[in-house]
Amino acid sequence: MDKAAVEAYLEKHGINEALQEAMTASVKAQSPNAKAYIGASLIGLSGLDVPGLVPALQKMAMEPQTDPLKFLLQELHGREMVGFTATVGAGGSDLVSQYTQKMTADGCSETAIKAFLYNFEKLTSGANLMIPEASLSPVESLPSYDSLTEEKPALLKETVMLKLNGGLGTGMGLEKAKSLLPLKGDDTFLDFIAKQVGHMRQTAGVDLAFMLMNSFATSADTLDYLSKYPLESQGLPLEFVQNKAPKVTEDGLAPALWPSKPDCEWCPPGHGDLYPAMVGSGTLDKLLAKGFKYMFVSNSDNLGATMDLKLLTWFANSGAPFAMEVAARTDADKKGGHLAMGKDGLLLRESAQCPDEDEKAFQDVSKHRFFNTNNLWINLEALKATYEKFDGVLPLPVIKNGKTVDPRDKKSTKVLQLETAMGSAIECFPGAQAILIPRTRFAPVKTTNDMLALASDAYEVTPDHRMVLKADRKGVPPNVKLDGCYKFVDGLMSLIPHGPPSMIKCDKLTLEGKMVLEAGVIFEGEVKVVNAKDEAQTLKAGTYTGSVEL
């Protein structure tokens, strides 16, 4: 096939024009990796083998195709890229260039850009981002923590403990890191975490490696607060910072613009960003170079999640590349993500991935019995190999969340935030496992409902500085539902100015209306307290059960 015929074919199918646009954008952006940039501009996924284009086109011209662009991608990238025709046909090449330029200009790493473009390609491909009930089956049984006995202290020298600390707690009315919130006395989440690490180092006689994944919003305050604790060790930095992702305009899918508040144009990409942040920051390579093999990851707001030698030993002995700690679902957990079995193995389904018609099955805790605690164990060598296997992009399921560009202005431009969940990586690792843990390893604070429960006598602080349910609770936390006026922390403090009530024997607590609890209030069984008046009423000291009207 001669050169003229190739050029004619390129022009006929618009491929030449798309290439020229991509190459021009690459020059304007001064991309250090033009080949990857052009590939990203074409298909929403960097790493396209552009030098192989002409041979692929020659083959395609001699074997006429009904979908030439799709065939081209199959030839060049070695796998099916569903939705490419739609992406390019809808101006996707230009949009991908816009996102690439925006993220490059803001200093985002190549790994972060790849991760976002993968998510964006999934969005524009028209692929179903939901996980319907019919596509999965329940997990019937799992190994249990209660059966573990073996401990190998030497493994601690090869293990790093990581806390995710990127959240601002805006849902609780906070404008600072949620981990700076006092929980018991003057101790914040960060105090508890620092004391947990110190206790483990002292009792095990090992300088346990510890790191944080902060966000740009939490880094400075967190490092300043923790400066009183000797947490850095083994030449490792105390933190690496998670990435940020552009918000996507709902109408047209262009990068969202908000000149009056440019920060509003960006959003956290979900805690699934752990993986590209580790790779892009160089943290993964640093850990491997220092001989670390395992990582234990948990949320900073879960004070039950400490380094556990039995679990570490089980994970190392299993040879699994990835393991998730799960707990038994109760009614209080029915809206959270659950573990399930897909066609290729274990997977995690979040509520945002559940079709409306399957909500009842999703919330059936007798069917889907286990939920993800976000306590994860990762084999670092396996993580590196998996990244290489997938060409530098971990193919996590994409979660699409509808928002407004300015969260405080509900009339501002409607946008989509593309997020991933770190637990969903369980489906990326063949041989990944899950283990049932006691509820004592799961004590998170997501809302003021959780905060009230943890502050009460239903929970206690252990000698190793964990916040755990008392044994009398038999692993089931109080189900707390507070009135909307207590959604923020300052509202909660107005409810309990004299300290939290006793809830050690409380199954469910519902508070409706404005009120103030005196010291000495005790809730038992199922309790509902209602104040229908406009003015706040006082609930006097005493024991309450059933319905109470003020």
Alpha carbons 405 and 470: distance in angstroms, whole number: 43
Q: How far is CA 206 from CA 197, 229, 238, in A?
A: 11, 17, 17
| Type of residue numbered 415 | V
Alpha carbons 272 and 474: distance in angstroms, whole number: 32
Of 289, 288, 268, 265, whose CA–CA distance to 277 is shortest? 268
Whether 446 sits among the annotated catalytic residues: the reply is yes
Q: What is the largest CA-CA distance in the chain?
A: 93
CB 251, CB 226: distance < 8 Å: no
Half-sphere exposure of 183 (CA within 13 A, CB side): 31
User: In this structure, how many other beta carbons lie within 10 angstroms of the beta carbon of residue 262?
Assistant: 10
Alpha carbons 44 and 115: distance in angstroms, whole number: 10
- Which one is catalytic: 446, 487, 505, 508? 446
| Type of residue numbered 118 | Y
CB 414, CB 327: distance < 8 Å: no
Token pair for residue 133? 């009930």
Alpha carbons 37 and 30: distance in angstroms, whole number: 10
Of 264, 186, 194, whose CA–CA distance to 222 is shortest? 194
What separation, in Å, do the N-terminal and C-terminal C-alpha atoms of the chain show?
88
For the CA atoms of 310, 316, 318, 323, the dihedral, rounded to the nearest 10 degrees, stands at 80
Residue numbers annotated as active site:
446
